[in-house]
Amino acid sequence: MFENEPATTAILMVAAGLLLIFSVLFSRPSERIGIPVVLVFLLIGLLVGSRLPDHFVDFDLAFRIGTVGLVLILFDGGLNTPFRQIRQYLAPASVLATVTVIGTALIVALIARLLGLGWTEAFLLGAIVSSTDAAAVFSSLRGSGVQLRRRVGATLELESGLNDPVAVILTLTLTAQLVSGGPFNLAALAGDILLQLAIGLAVGYAVGWLGSHLLDRIRVPAAGLYPVLTLALALLAFGLPTLFMGSGFLAVYIAALMLGNQRLPYRSGILRVHDAMAWLAQITMFLILGLLAVPEMLASAGWKGLVLALGLALVARPVMVMLSLWPFGYKAKESGFVAWVGLRGAVPILLATFPVLAGVEGAIELFHLVFFVVVVNALIPGATIRWAVQWFQVEQAGRQRPSPVLEVNAIDSLPVQIISFRLDPAAMVTGNPAGALPLPAGADILLLVRGKEALPVRPETVLQADDHVHIMVRPEDKRAVELLFGLREED
Amino acid sequence: MFENEPATTAILMVAAGLLLIFSVLFSRPSERIGIPVVLVFLLIGLLVGSRLPDHFVDFDLAFRIGTVGLVLILFDGGLNTPFRQIRQYLAPASVLATVTVIGTALIVALIARLLGLGWTEAFLLGAIVSSTDAAAVFSSLRGSGVQLRRRVGATLELESGLNDPVAVILTLTLTAQLVSGGPFNLAALAGDILLQLAIGLAVGYAVGWLGSHLLDRIRVPAAGLYPVLTLALALLAFGLPTLFMGSGFLAVYIAALMLGNQRLPYRSGILRVHDAMAWLAQITMFLILGLLAVPEMLASAGWKGLVLALGLALVARPVMVMLSLWPFGYKAKESGFVAWVGLRGAVPILLATFPVLAGVEGAIELFHLVFFVVVVNALIPGATIRWAVQWFQVEQAGRQRPSPVLEVNAIDSLPVQIISFRLDPAAMVTGNPAGALPLPAGADILLLVRGKEALPVRPETVLQADDHVHIMVRPEDKRAVELLFGLREED
């Protein structure tokens, strides 16, 4: 022990450091050619893993790290979901998260059965690959620089936050079934799913409610302790319902939704820390899942994997999405786009470790089959996403929100907000001197950024197209100012 | 395995979540009564640990987590050290980090020998408790609301970043000595220390240099990836020199110093993430170290521990600090204050796990002795720090820098800075209308916060005492604006 100790820890840290650096370095080029960033991490893990001795294959550790990672990712997703703005899409997203997930699992199971798998293994496979990954969808979209029509974007975002818990419940229950070998009871399964979702929802709501009151009341000696507190809330939101047969992942997402839509102290700090932790979790999960896979076994998953992957992408998901969204009045092209970009991410591979841990026969083959399905279902939609946006005509009309050049945060809460605009040539104020604008009382242009220069604003300063203007305004006057200045920059 | 799995992970997460929440909740009350926050975490760990079954006592895991934690803490410390402003204190701080550490270790060893320990155990104990903890000092100071004279504050800050590596080297070398049982060679020890420091310095410099070029060049698809990159740099900065017989902890601090004093993209995000990670590391380290201790063994460390603790605080450190700072022209009261607030933190307890891992005889007793010494040497200076500031007259003359109410960050780099002032009644501008101020060209008052109100600034707006004003200014005009407005708020 002693002979090796500082060296072993040092080797682990160097390895982790190098893997992280390579992953970040390759994230940009991968995005340019339309491959989801996360696949790069998976590939690096696979390449490194195939050169490691066997004892690094630790499915137990992978499951534990993957669980924590998924908690961090879902929590970050919930924090950043502007629930108030998209709650009208909750109904279709919930149907996608339940009906579509279960239906997709059934159709994939049918295909797997036709390929020669036993019924329960087939159902297990279907359950494992049944949920989509928002991070993959949105990182692909961000790279392509387009903005989706709100209905489509919001539906995809809510869906992928809500459907992971259902896939997890399906997989765990089916695995337990396989291990116990008892008779298959569909009614019991359905009841179980509903119960777990209900408990998860209740506990998530409770943790979110308590957490936002706690954050509102508590004063900590250093701002860096706030993110520690929100991290603790995320761990509790997962752990508590899991202990009481509820869905921990649903609870995490719900708790984060509530916290993120509340006034948080040190908000931008909390969001940034969770953003970084979610990225770290993404990279770590995909690296580790890549480490677990054996290239030879992936190759032998070959044509079966390909048939399953294409069956999922071209049959199972499209059929179920069209059926699920049809009652909500989505246009065919909108449903088509939602169906097409059902990218799979880390969740299926994480779920595929579970049968391995449970000692299900053939679980290692299943793991590699799932790996194959996930990679194909990230590559195809990922590489075609720009084309799909045009083909299905789901791009947001009008210009994209420009990004701001300054960020202004009030540390105490002030009764004004500072909002920023990038002036459109057609905006009402463009071409006019600042002193001549009919600004509401209490509103004021603080600062103007033109090209690489920041200019003071005097009454005689003429506003030009493409200027970034930062305006202080009372919340009640925001609408009036938006009418004058046009499209706001991203917050 | 399968029967337990989701539950085991869930229990661990609930436990971690609750411990973190309690630690954060108690951090504020503890600060008010002058107990360093970190001791609260230690105490919680101790209370919980004494109720756990034996197999939770895992010194190996504690060492590994402690190492990563210390890396995160030192990296954060380096990032936040304004090196350019305090580099004139590098010489005295370096002498404190080497001469004072070694001398303190020797004097403590002498006391321990008098108390009946063997020579090598005595030296080991001295080495383990020889370094101070900046985080403890500064969190105590922040709670008391005073600002130290710059020379004193900067010396303490640099000292505590630089002295941990020396204590680590001393401890590891002495432990190796104890295990191998060879003859004790002082010259070889000194040479070894210098070599390790030199390698650590070189590798830290190299990682810092490469890292800042990398951060400057690379464009990542999501800002959340920048902190992942800096985290990777921290891991590399520790791991690489450690593999080549260098001081990893020194390298981490040096690399962070270089990065923090560079223009970083997404700077405030990176700093916040590392700040939160350092707090998380602090809490985790102290909790775990508390878990390792056994209350009965602490009690039996009793009077020996007390004599050692007081010997360290009242003899060893004061003597060595006075000697070390004397050539640099520090006043007696300044040296006295530096000597008095030599708070001990997590490093000694982490170092005390090392002999346990190495299987040194009596290492468990040593661990508890160290635990005792650390607690006393955190409690006494921590509780008396306000009194010490007055007694030694080291408070910064003049008013304390007020804290700002708005935070403005440029996302791209702009050729102007935004600085803020809280107006003193005696400031030149107070009582004058904004339009009458002789501001340099290109400078402009953006915003004025008066009480709870943010006001637009018109030429006729009269500036009043206690107004917060935010001013845009070119870097070259900063001095002129400071002459007009007085004391700047904290950045």
Separation between Cα atoms, residue A73 and residue A278, nearest integer Å? 5
The reply to whether B269 falls in a domain is: yes
Separation between Cα atoms, residue A101 and residue A116, nearest integer Å? 23
Q: Which is nearest to B133 in space by CA: B37, B9, B47?
A: B37
Separation between Cα atoms, residue A338 and residue A229, nearest integer Å? 36
Test mutation, B44, B169, B228, B408, chain A, max A CBs within 10 A: B228
Does the distance separating the beta carbons of A269 and B276 come in below 8 Å? yes
- Tell me the CA distances in angstroms from B438 to A446, B4, B432, B484, one per residue in order: 19, 73, 11, 9
* Residue of chain A whose Cα is closest to the Cα of B221: A28
Of A356, A391, A426, which residue constitutes the final position of a domain?
A: A391
CA angle B365, B369, B373 (to 5 degrees): 170
Q: What is the dihedral of CA A434, A440, A443, A444, to 10 degrees?
A: 10
Q: Which structure tokens are listed for B298?
A: 């602490």
In a shared domain, residues A225 and A354 = yes
The reply to whether B412 falls in a domain is: no
* B431-484 pLDDT tens trace: 888 888 888 877 888 878 887 777 778 778 888 888 888 888 887 787 788 888
CA angle A328, A329, A331 (to 5 degrees): 130
CA of A329 vs chain B CAs: smallest distance (Å): 34
The reply to whether A411 falls in a domain is: no
DSSP code for B308: H
Percentage of residues of chain B with pLDDT beyond 70: 88
In a shared domain, residues A286 and A427 = no
Q: How confident is the model at residue B357 (pLDDT cuts 50, 70, 90)?
A: confident
Q: Whose structure tokens read 């020379």? A: B151
The reply to whether B187 falls in a domain is: yes
Q: Which structure tokens are listed for A423?
A: 């002036």
> DSSP for B309-376?
HHHIIIIIHHHHHHHHHGGGT--HHHHHHHHHT----HHHHHHHHHHHHHT-TTHHHHHHHHHHHHHH
In a shared domain, residues A223 and A315 = yes
The reply to whether A402 falls in a domain is: no
Separation between Cα atoms, residue B274 and residue A273, nearest integer Å? 8
Widest CA span of chain B, in angstroms?
82
In a shared domain, residues B381 and B466 = no
Separation between Cα atoms, residue B1 and residue B9, nearest integer Å? 11
Separation between Cα atoms, residue A71 and residue A239, nearest integer Å? 10
List the alpha helices (DSSP H) in A218-247: 225-243
Higher pLDDT, B97 or B490: B97
> How many A-B residue pairs are in contact by the CB < 8 A criterion?
303
The reply to whether A399 falls in a domain is: no
In a shared domain, residues A356 and A255 = yes
Separation between Cα atoms, residue A6 and residue B291, nearest integer Å? 22
Picking from A10, A272, A472, the nearest residue to B243 by CB comes out as: A10
Picking from B10, B228, B415, the nearest residue to A20 by CB comes out as: B228
Instruction: pLDDT tens for chain A, 491 residues: list them.
Output: 344 666 778 888 888 888 888 888 877 766 666 667 777 788 888 888 777 665 556 788 888 888 999 999 889 988 988 877 778 888 999 999 999 999 999 999 999 999 988 888 898 999 999 988 766 666 666 656 667 888 888 888 888 888 888 898 888 888 877 777 767 677 877 888 889 999 999 999 999 999 999 988 887 777 778 899 999 999 999 999 988 888 999 999 999 999 988 878 778 788 888 988 988 888 888 888 888 888 888 888 888 999 999 999 999 999 999 999 999 989 999 999 999 988 888 888 889 988 888 888 888 889 999 988 988 888 888 788 878 888 888 887 655 555 555 666 555 556 677 777 878 887 878 888 888 888 887 788 887 888 777 777 877 888 888 888 888 888 778 778 888 887 676 54
List the alpha helices (DSSP H) in A115-185: 119-128, 134-144, 150-180
Does the distance separating the beta carbons of B20 and A235 come in below 8 Å? yes
Q: Where does residue B99 rank: exposed (0-12), middle (13-18), buried (19+ CB within 10 A)? A: middle
A163 and chain B in contact, CB less than 8 A:
no
Helix (H) / strand (E) containing A417: strand A417-422
Single-letter residue type at A150: R
DSSP code for B82: -
Q: Are A324 and A92 in contact (CB under 8 A)?
A: yes
Does the distance separating the beta carbons of A403 and B405 come in below 8 Å? no
Question: Going by C-beta distance under 8 Å and a sequence separation of 6 or more, which residues neighbour residue B409?
Answer: A406, A407, A408, A409, B267, B268
DSSP code for A401: P
Helix (H) / strand (E) containing B449: strand B444-450
Q: Is A423 helix (H, G, I), strand (E, B) or coil?
A: coil
Q: Are A233 and B35 in contact (CB under 8 A)?
A: no
Interface of B with A in 453-482 (CB under 8 A): 453-457, 472
Can you name the residues that pair with A472 across neighbouring β-strands?
A418, A444
In a shared domain, residues B365 and B435 = no
Task: List the strands of the sheet with B468-473, edge to edge.
Answer: B417-422, B468-473, B444-450, B453-455
In a shared domain, residues A183 and A315 = yes
Q: Which is nearest to B217 in space by CA: B249, B273, B265?
A: B265
In a shared domain, residues B9 and B43 = yes
In a shared domain, residues A385 and A446 = no
CA of A412 vs chain B CAs: smallest distance (Å): 6
Separation between Cα atoms, residue B276 and residue A269, nearest integer Å? 9
DSSP code for A436: G
The reply to whether A189 falls in a domain is: yes
Can you name the residues that pair with A433 across neighbouring β-strands?
A462
- Per CB-CB distance under 8 Å, the chain B contacts of A218 are 24-25, 28
Q: Which is nearest to A107 in space by CA: A327, A350, A323, A371?
A: A323
| Count of the separate structural domains present in chain B | 2
The reply to whether A297 falls in a domain is: yes
- Tell me the CA distances in angstroms from A420 to A401, A469, A481, B77, B169, one per residue in order: 11, 6, 10, 34, 53
Separation between Cα atoms, residue A124 and residue A366, nearest integer Å? 9
Separation between Cα atoms, residue B293 and residue B371, nearest integer Å? 8
Separation between Cα atoms, residue B179 and residue B187, nearest integer Å? 19
Write the CATH number for A49: 1.20.1530.20
Q: Which structure tokens are listed for A412?
A: 């105490």
Write the CATH number for A427: 3.30.70.1450
In a shared domain, residues B333 and B472 = no
Separation between Cα atoms, residue B147 and residue B152, nearest integer Å? 10
Single-letter residue type at B315: V
> DSSP for B213-252?
HHHHH---SSTTHHHHHHHHHHHHHHHHHHHTTS-HHHHH
Higher pLDDT, B417 or B274: B274
Of B332, B357, B391, which residue constitutes the final position of a domain?
A: B391
Question: Going by C-beta distance under 8 Å and a sequence separation of 6 or more, which residues neighbour residue A186?
Answer: none
pLDDT recorded at residue B135: 65
Containing structural domain, residue A99: 15-391
In a shared domain, residues A236 and A136 = yes
In a shared domain, residues B196 and B111 = yes
Asked casually if ipTM beats, i.e. exceeds, 0.90, the reply is no
CB atoms within 10 A of CB A254: 27
* Residue of chain B whose Cα is closest to the Cα of A2: B358
- Tell me the CA distances in angstroms from B344 to A453, B39, B136, B350, B380, one per residue in order: 49, 11, 8, 12, 11
CB atoms within 10 A of CB B443: 20
pLDDT recorded at residue A2: 42
Test mutation, A1, A2, A70, A490, chain B, max B CBs within 10 A: A2
Give the best-scoring range by mean pLDDT among A106-115, A363-372, B38-47, B413-422. Answer: A106-115
CA angle B464, B469, B475 (to 5 degrees): 135
A452 and chain B in contact, CB less than 8 A:
yes
* B155-168 pLDDT tens trace: 888 888 888 888 98
> DSSP for B367-416?
HHHHHHHHHHHHHHHHHTHHHHHHHTT-BPSSPPPPPPSEEEEESS--S-
CB atoms within 10 A of CB B283: 28
pLDDT recorded at residue B345: 81
**pLDDT of B263 above 80:** no
B242 and chain A in contact, CB less than 8 A:
yes
Separation between Cα atoms, residue B478 and residue B471, nearest integer Å? 10
Interface of A with B in 284-323 (CB under 8 A): none
